[in-house]
Amino acid sequence: MAYRRLTHETSRLLKKKLPAAFTVRVRSAQKLDPQYQALCSLEGSGKQRYFLIRISKRLSDEQARDALIHEYAHAVSWGHLHDQQEDHPWHDDVWGVNYARVYRVANEDEEDSFHEK
């Protein structure tokens, strides 16, 4: 299940710097419903639970990386509200704050060099 290098590098960086409560697995998806660029879900049960991020193969490398950043924010935001309420909004405030954190970490190198004195 090889996936793109750019996405792979970002995924490694995020897992290292912003670990989620669950193992996060990123896959390149051949047969994703065309209306979605990427999807995420919590799979397995008990201690075997893992967060699965599927990114459509139709996306460009840049789009795939953006999709990963969006979905990874879901991975770090996932909590009891998602588990207990079927209709809990996906893009709530917690997700928004985490999206900003994930975005910063993913683009850290560029920001560092930009602010270097």
Burial class (CB in 10 A: 0-12, 13-18, 19+), 50: middle
Dihedral (CA of 56, 60, 61, 63) sign: negative
CB of 70 to Zn ion, least distance (A): 6
Nearer to Zn ion, 3 or 40 (CB): 40
CB of 4 to Zn ion, least distance (A): 20
Nearer to Zn ion, 3 or 102 (CB): 102
**Binding-residue total with Zn ion (CB under 5 A):** 1
Nearer to Zn ion, 90 or 114 (CB): 90
Nearest residue to Zn ion by CB is: 90
CA gap 108, 91 in Å, rounded: 23
Indicate the Cα dihedral angle 106, 64, 71, 116, nearest 10°: 10
Residues 6+ apart with CB under 8 A from 56: 29, 32, 36, 37, 38, 64, 67
Nearer to Zn ion, 4 or 67 (CB): 67
Mark residues 55-94: x for contact with Zn ion by CB under 5 A, - for none.
-----------------------------------x----
**Residues of this chain that bind Zn ion (CB under 5 A):** 90
